[in-house]
Amino acid sequence: MRIAVFDSKQYDRTALTAANQQHQHDLVFFDDRLNIKTVPLAEGFDVVCPFVNDKLDAPTMAKLAKLGVQLVTLRCAGYNGVDLDAAKLHGITVTRVPAYSPEAVAEHVFALLLTLIRKTHRAFNRVRDGNFTLDGLEGFNLHGRTFGVVGAGKIGLATARIARGFGCKVLAFDPYPPATCDVGCEFVTLDELFAQADVISLHSPLFPTTHHMINAHTLAKMKEGVVLINTSRGGLINTLALIKSLKSGHVGGVGLDVYEHEEGVFFEDLSDSMLKDDVLARLTTFPNVVITSHQGFLTTEALNNIAASVLESVAQFAQKLPLSNEVKAGA
């Protein structure tokens, strides 16, 4: 099948090309994100392969259908950028990659967290400038702290396991908790988690019900000095409310691998231009905020798993087999 891969970087091309050796699909890579302006690029393709910040809204889906596209195979877990009702209306199948490497994202949680609480980013810059003092670099132990996981899917549970390894008491919230859990965490209400956790890590999908679940009201419920980590979806946090809590000192630290307005910024080199997003620019000024550019998935293992899963979905679709990772409207 002919596959148009949108919003592709070199690491995508390397992993997909290697995985395609056993499938022999026709892969064509585009730098452009898929949206209503770029959808004409999909002409002549059976399949489109978008990424997390591509926008497949109703007009885009309608245009894809007219161009003869039959399958949208996302190379990410999140699908909030796809209008599933429109896909159903136009007979376009949608698949995703639900679990490319839970450990990759979970480990990035602790890359952000340890950077924050041990201030290694500041120490690194000092040493490079020849400053070997320790003043102002005091951190705190994770051992003995209460770690809260919001969303107990594969990534959330992988994060909980690592937190247990650090000697944390782990609290978890999920509206649909697993029937059995071998992680050793305690499932509590969201309010209980907010009130008790020293560190809170977000692992919820982005739905209308979870949009801005971290807001002025919920931030006020959290412990003074709480550290908040988000490697899931930027829209889970009301950034303006977060900035206000940072300024007041109520929030002690923030690690973000996602941002609610990251489209057009994350994954791009803007080093020679002005950052036009004033809110994001303000966030970068806080010494207790660490931001990475949606790189939690970026390990060799995860990239290879993503590529294999995407091409397996295409193979299943081409052979009219049951689709392991199909996403349907209303699911």
Q: Is 209 helix (H, G, I), strand (E, B) or coil?
A: coil
Number of domains observed in the structure of the chain: 2
The confidence score (pLDDT) of residue 99 equals: 81
Mean per-residue pLDDT over the chain, rounded? 95
Compute the radius of gyration of the chain from its Cα atoms.
21
Assess if residue 253 is contained within a domain.
yes
All residues at 6 or more sequence positions from 223 whose CB lies less than 8 Å from its CB, including other chains: 195, 196, 197, 198
Asked if residue 66 has pLDDT above 70, the reply is yes
Active site residue 107: no
**Strand order in 226-230's β-sheet?**
186-187, 169-173, 146-150, 199-202, 226-230, 251-256, 289-291
CATH code, domain carrying 70:
3.40.50.720
Same domain, 69 and 172: no
Angstrom distance (rounded) from CA 218 to CA 192? 11
Q: Which of 150, 259, 143, 82 is nearest to 268 (CA)?
A: 259
As given in the structure block, the two tokens for residue 66 are 């007219």
Assess if residue 331 is contained within a domain.
no
As given in the structure block, the two tokens for residue 187 are 């499932």
Assess if residue 75 is contained within a domain.
yes
Assess if residue 324 is contained within a domain.
no
Q: Give percent of the chain with pLDDT exceeding 70.
A: 100
Assess if residue 197 is contained within a domain.
yes
Task: Give the total residue count for the chain.
Answer: 331
The confidence score (pLDDT) of residue 330 equals: 75
pLDDT digits (tens, 9 = 90+) for 289-301: 999 999 999 999 9
Which one from 145, 203, 294, 312 is the annotated catalytic residue?
294
Same domain, 74 and 159: no
The answer to whether the CB of 238 falls within 8 A of the CB of 265 is no
Same domain, 94 and 213: no
Angstrom distance (rounded) from CA 136 to CA 138? 6
The confidence score (pLDDT) of residue 227 equals: 98
The confidence score (pLDDT) of residue 267 equals: 85
Intra-chain end-to-end CA distance of the chain, in Å: 27
pLDDT digits (tens, 9 = 90+) for 95-109: 999 888 899 999 999
Same domain, 44 and 129: no
The confidence score (pLDDT) of residue 67 equals: 97
Same domain, 127 and 77: no
Q: Is 72 helix (H, G, I), strand (E, B) or coil?
A: strand
Same domain, 79 and 201: no
Q: Is 43 helix (H, G, I), strand (E, B) or coil?
A: coil
Same domain, 75 and 170: no
Same domain, 70 and 35: yes
Identify the residue whose tokens are 């898929």.
34
Which one from 75, 203, 233, 312 is the annotated catalytic residue?
233
Assess if residue 188 is contained within a domain.
yes
Same domain, 18 and 142: no
Question: In DSSP terms, which residues pair with 214 in a beta bridge?
Answer: 237
Please report which helix (H) or strand (E) contains residue 158, including its range.
helix 154-165
Same domain, 21 and 67: yes
Q: Which of 16, 42, 15, 44 is nearest to 30 (CA)?
A: 42
Assess if residue 280 is contained within a domain.
yes
Angstrom distance (rounded) from CA 156 to CA 202? 8
Provide the domain limits for residue 201. 102-291
Residue 38: pLDDT band (50, 70, 90) is very high
pLDDT digits (tens, 9 = 90+) for 256-277: 999 999 988 898 888 888 888 8
Same domain, 90 and 188: no
Which one from 96, 260, 262, 312 is the annotated catalytic residue?
262
Assess if residue 323 is contained within a domain.
no
The confidence score (pLDDT) of residue 179 equals: 80
Kindly report which listed range (106-115, 162-171, 178-187, 198-207) carries the lowest average pLDDT score: 178-187
Active site residue 263: no
Same domain, 30 and 149: no
All residues at 6 or more sequence positions from 273 whose CB lies less than 8 Å from its CB, including other chains: none
Residue 331: pLDDT band (50, 70, 90) is low
Identify the residue whose tokens are 């206000």.
244
pLDDT digits (tens, 9 = 90+) for 305-324: 999 999 999 999 999 999 99
Active site residue 233: yes
